[in-house]
Chain A
Amino acid sequence: MNIWPLRFRELSNGSTLFADDAGGFFRSGQGFLSRYATDDLTAADVAFLREGNHGFDCEFDLSWTSFAYRWARRQSKPQNLSYAILVPTLRCNLTCGYCQVSRAPENSRGFDWSEETLAGVLAFLSGLDGPDVKIEFQGGEPLLRIDLLEAVRDYCRGRFSNTQFVVCTNLQALDARAWAFLDAEDTFISTSFDGDRTTHERQRTHSADATDAFFQNLEAAVSRYPAGKISALPTVDVAKPPDFHALLDNFERYGIRSVYLRPINYQGFARKLDQGDNVLVRWNRLHSEFIELLIARNYQTGQFMEEYYFVQCLKRVLRLDADNHVDIRNPNFFAADYVVIDHDGKFYPTDEARMLSRIGRVDLSIGDVAAGIDRAKVALLNSGASNHFDPDCIHCVYQPFCGTDVIDDISRYGRIDVARRDTWFCGRQLSIFDKVFEILYRQDKPTRASVAAWLGVNSWSADMAPVHS
């Protein structure tokens, strides 16, 4: 049998994790490692590798073919552009601490789409292939320009057979027209909720009245709409994290079981915030603690909640098709399936790229609605969009599961060729995948119950993750 190359990494418990290029993985020890390295495999080694499909006898045999299949399925495939993030206004009625630069005061002028920009946006949408389209309204506070939202939605409903709209709103001020807009079945709400009242007020609303308004509207929306209509994201300040217990209780109370924990975004005004030293290490520790808290809490309550990104990574390890999240997409081509259109009609490959460009450090716009998408610039960004040839990633056991984030690299280091292992992105990915494999191999009941629930199966036992002794 010819064995496909295996990469390896020592896990925290001293065992060694192995994985092939197609994401076939198993845990073993130093003994196997040295037999593998010295080409001295036993019959038992070979039988184990055969069952796990880590080798083949000849080209086009079943093992070879399914290895090729697994590898290919893990690559992100070209997709239709069917998703647009629209910023009809940059104005906002809040001043969140970490968002200063990507917003404009509520009463300022010149931060909304003009008539021509709206026409350009609709013309751009008309050129999409369909039949599905998803539109996310961002801001600023998009509901300040509900007329523009209505115009876009009306147009899309006429143009596409399947439409979905997400309004990213701070839920501060909702008048009858806003509620009527949100009432539609094809329209969803995404809001920010920083976990507990104190944190939310400190980071976002800054006054008891404004906080009350937010909670009143959130409660009203939760009671008015079916489960799944509202999602909420907490933004976490590593220096002052919210009370995670309270955060989970609150989210559960509002019927939101999936929590996407995000560190304060480095772009925008947040760059200037001092979060102290070693933010990465502290973030990783915080995130790991959050996972442990979830596991314990899930087991205790029997009501399963999840951390969104962690579960995406967990599925990415086990499944071939789990690359919904862009950070684990490989290659992660820009302006392929979605694009951002700013308040001035400029295209950006991601929302982070938009914010990064606003602070004037680098111009990551990729054309505008008048001139169309600048494919040459997209191609330049795409040159860094895969981890296949990265000198660090090619040695990393997590490469088949991992992705890239060029924009984050530019934002933090001003360049895309920093040694991968020195980047924030890699540090976070390594830590998350370490955690994923730790829990996949854990035997305790609470962990197994959460893993099963997160994977959507009835039972998970540690022997479902392969071990070679």
Chain B
Amino acid sequence: MIPLRIKVETNADRPYVVRLRSLEAEAWDSAPTLHPSEAALKHAGPDAADYAGEGGRLRVLGIDPSKVDGDVLLVNPSRGTADRLIRSSSQHNTFLVTERCDQVCLMCSQPPKKHHFDLFPYFETAALLAPEHATIGISGGEPTLFKTELFRFLQRVLEARPDISFHVLTNGQHFDEEDLNALSHIDLGRVVWGIPLYSSDAGVHDEIVGKEGAHAQLLRNLALMCRLGAQIELRTVLMRPNADGLPGLARVIGSTLPFIRTWAVMQMENIGFGRMNWKSLFFDSSEGFELVGRSIDFVRSRGIDAWLYNFPLCTVPPEYRHLAPATISDWKRAYRVECEGCSLKEACGGFFEWHPRDHGYSRLGAVQ
């Protein structure tokens, strides 16, 4: 697994954002100009690497400087750690805005916590230092619980950096008419909102997210998003309670939600509440793929994009594999002993690193 938090020593006294630069390739005598938020590599030893920049000195421990070149760190001096907010070599950089949430989804991978620190000022600095054409994920908890800050952050970064875009994971509960003005200042062509909808049946959806009235609220807000022209990735985690309803949901997407940009049918993540409730929730799609395939086909026949996220390729019938991109983020991804010698490994996203050994799929294994 790729470490997202690394050990550091610094002479700073408060947290700050810094981009590391190795500058190896560049000639020293041409005196590369450093951004005020950058630190350049001065010395690399076997256990530590020393950086210096306007923000002061920074010693990075236990990781090869070549692996963190271009990374944007949030340095926490008192703890002696730094969070790699942006890993320059990765397509999967996500800012965790808050751990608070107003829903308690049965399979939540990141169960909500009460406390909240406002990190938006750091995120803004970090986003401005992101590599060209980066897509940055915004996640939680529920980011729109802090929507004033979030909208302002999006507006400012998108204005300053015309090349980058955002993917925001939200439960879609907190938009309202009053936000139309703030949202109209955001370049919505560069923001995709990942919004979960589990069922066309309000009871099933509300049960899964643990909040009465959530379904009705979500539908109201989807109408609002449609009027705004927002780009929506509708996300449906496939589980036992909603699997049978998938074809019905597909029909409603065709008739009532045709404005979404993508429908993502997703396999479950075995962590957080997902681990606790695994036995009652996990749906073996390697056995029951027919209803998944039919639902995807229905939606695609209506000209709406539909994809399978987090499905190990060998559990998907060959004719659907091109619809199952490797979506598990690089730092969470792992393969199993069964994967040895598999010809699909390159294209396959494998498993979440914490997926149990008894993986639950009745059909799985290397494809020759």
Contacts and interface: CB of A to CB of B under 8 A. Distances in A.
Nearest to A61: B223
A14 interface: no
A457 B252 contact: no
B298 interface: yes
B294 A461 contact: yes
Nearest to A70: B258
Interface stretch (A169-177, A313-321, A348-356): A313-321
B91 interface: no
B302 A319 contact: yes
Given A61-B223, A69-B226, A458-B293, A51 B255 contact: yes
B256 A63 contact: yes
B297 A452 contact: yes
Nearest to B225: A65
A52 interface: yes
B219 A315 contact: no
In this complex, the member of A60, A69, A318, A457 whose beta carbon has the largest number of chain B beta carbons within 10 angstroms is: A457
A321 B300 CA distance: 13
Contacts of B200: 51
B18 interface: no
Contacts of B222: 62
Contact of A319 (B223, B227, B248, B303): B303
A64 B224 CA distance: 11
B300 A66 contact: no
A150 to B, nearest CB: 37
A328 to B, nearest CB: 14
Contact of B303 (A63, A320, A452, A460): A320
Contacts of A320: 258, 302-303
B174 interface: no
A65 B303 CA distance: 19
Nearest to B318: A458
A381 interface: no
Contact of B259 (A64, A66, A318): A66
B297 A459 contact: yes
Main secondary structure of the interface of B (DSSP, over half): helix
B301 A322 contact: no
Given A51-B255, A319-B303, A322-B303, A65 B294 contact: no
B220 interface: yes
B47 interface: no
A177 B29 CA distance: 54
A24 interface: yes
Contacts of A461: 294
A455 interface: yes
Interface in B9-63: none
Q: How large is the interface on A (under 10, 10 to 19, 20 to 34, 35 or more residues)?
A: 20 to 34
Nearest to A321: B303
A191 to B, nearest CB: 31
A52 B255 contact: yes
B338 interface: no
A66 B256 contact: yes
Nearest to A53: B255
A456 interface: yes
Given A458-B293, A464-B297, A66 B257 contact: yes
A62 B255 contact: no
Interface in B108-142: none
In this complex, the member of A53, A64, A315 whose beta carbon has the largest number of chain B beta carbons within 10 angstroms is: A53
A365 to B, nearest CB: 37
A60 B222 CA distance: 11
Nearest to A54: B255
B7 interface: no
Given A51-B255, A53-B255, A53-B256, A66 B226 contact: yes
Interface string B295-331: 0111011110000000000000001100000000000
Contacts of A466: 251
Contacts of B256: 53, 62-63, 66
Interface residues of B, number: 26
A457 B303 contact: no
A362 B54 CA distance: 77
B297 A65 contact: no
A65 B251 contact: no
A64 B256 CA distance: 9
A361 interface: no
A456 B226 CA distance: 26
Nearest to B226: A65
Contacts of B223: 60-62, 64-66
B320 A65 contact: no
B297 A457 contact: yes
Contact of A73 (B255, B258, B320): B258
Given A24-B255, A51-B255, A458 B297 contact: yes
A438 B72 CA distance: 59
Interface in A437-469: 452, 455-461, 464, 466
Given A65-B227, A69-B258, A318 B301 contact: yes
B322 to A, nearest CB: 10
Interface in A72-130: 73
A460 to B, nearest CB: 7
Contacts of A64: 223
Contacts of A455: 300-301
Interface in B212-265: 219-220, 222-223, 226-227, 248, 251-252, 255-259
Interface in A318-336: 318-322
Nearest to B200: A51
Interface in B194-219: 200, 219
Contacts of A61: 220, 223
Contacts of A464: 294, 297-298, 301
A62 B252 contact: no
A70 B297 CA distance: 20
Contacts of B220: 61-62
In this complex, the member of B257, B294, B301 whose beta carbon has the largest number of chain A beta carbons within 10 angstroms is: B301
A388 to B, nearest CB: 21
Interface in A154-193: none
Nearest to A464: B298
Nearest to B294: A459
A460 B301 contact: yes
Interface string B268-301: 0000000000000000000000000110111011
B300 A456 contact: yes
Contacts of B293: 458-459
A22 B301 CA distance: 17
Contacts of B300: 455-457
Contacts of A321: 303
B294 to A, nearest CB: 6
B259 A62 contact: no
Contacts of B248: 51
The 4 closest A-B pairs by CB, nearest first: A319-B303, A53-B255, A62-B223, A457-B297
Given A60-B223, A65-B227, A452-B297, 5 more contacts: A319-B303, A456-B300, A457-B297, A460-B301, A464-B301
Interface of B: 200, 219-220, 222-223, 226-227, 248, 251-252, 255-259, 293-294, 296-298, 300-303, 319-320
Interface of A: 24, 51-53, 60-66, 69-70, 73, 315, 318-322, 452, 455-461, 464, 466
8 contacts: A51-B255, A60-B227, A62-B219, A65-B223, A319-B302, A320-B302, A464-B298, A464-B301
